[in-house]
Amino acid sequence: MSKDFIVEACIDSVESAMAVEEVGCRRVELCSALFEGGLTPTPGTVRRIQQTSGVDIMAMIRPRGGDFCYSREEFAVMKEDLKIMKELGVLGVVFGILREDGTIDKERTGELIALARPLKVTFHRAFDVTPEPFAALETLIELGVDRILTSGQDKSVLEGIDLIAELHRKAGGRIIIMPGGGITERNFRRIHETLGFGEYHIGLGSWKESAMKFRRSYVPMGGALYPPEYAVRGYNAQALSTIISHT
């Protein structure tokens, strides 16, 4: 298997950016709140990554967790966040907007694309909950999106691999199809040998103990489903290195 692919690491911190760069990753999708699937990162995080590493940043533009049908005010927030990311000089932005019926919101997507240029634009896994994937594909090509992030409208890339391959075939080089969702160091070889794509989106989050010594474990700061209070989310750079080093 030749090393002819780009790995985009999904991260949420400066430390993770430094870790993935150390093992050879050059591009990241930067988010906050990965527990919710990834929300817009803070400007401070973007700037500090730019100061401490040389990775290219694709910044998530997503105002909340949940679905991708946004209110007028949520859309206004997305536009303001996009302007900030553009001013910070990121490589590109990542977003997805749907109508109530699950189809691509062409008007709002087009507005964000125009606002983003000349930045690169990825339409994220909102694509995976559209009712007609090939119609959505053609819509995004028409709008001029650079890349679609998709698990093949299934739980993981392995389960959606047939649709991913067909999307790539139908795209015919007009747009990049980037598989993402459930890719690990254990299944990457099989996925790449099957698809042979040029880009993969990989999230290999991990947890490590925080530096806190004094702990009050019965006072959570989250909801009923909450991450551990005394652990810090990081990135499994060793596993990513295994993927990047495949030859």
Instruction: Output the pLDDT for position 79.
Output: 98
Pair 32, 41: CB distance under 8 Å: yes
Task: Please identify, in words, the CATH class of the domain defined by 6-207+236-244.
Answer: alpha beta
CA 178 to chain centre: 10
- On the question of pLDDT at 2 being above 50, the answer is no
pTM of the model: 0.88
Could you report the per-residue pLDDT of 154-189, keeping only the tens digit for each? 999 999 999 999 999 999 999 999 999 999 999 999
| pLDDT average, residue stretch 231-242 | 82
Rounded distance between C-alpha atoms, residue 151 and residue 211, angstroms: 36
Instruction: Output the pLDDT for position 234.
Output: 81
Instruction: Output the pLDDT for position 209.
Output: 86
Instruction: Output the pLDDT for position 206.
Output: 82
Count CB atoms within 10 A of the CB of residue 67. 11
Domain ranges of the chain: 6-207+236-244
Instruction: Output the pLDDT for position 229.
Output: 55
- Pick the closest to residue 134 from 169, 94, 99 (CA basis): 169
Instruction: Output the pLDDT for position 1.
Output: 43
- On the question of pLDDT at 153 being above 70, the answer is yes
Dihedrals phi, psi of 238, to nearest 5 degrees? -65, -45
| pLDDT average, residue stretch 68-94 | 98
Dihedrals phi, psi of 84, to nearest 5 degrees? -65, -45
Give the pairing of strands 92-95 and 120-123: parallel
- Checking phi first, is residue 195 left (phi over 0); if not, alpha (psi -120 to 50) or beta? alpha
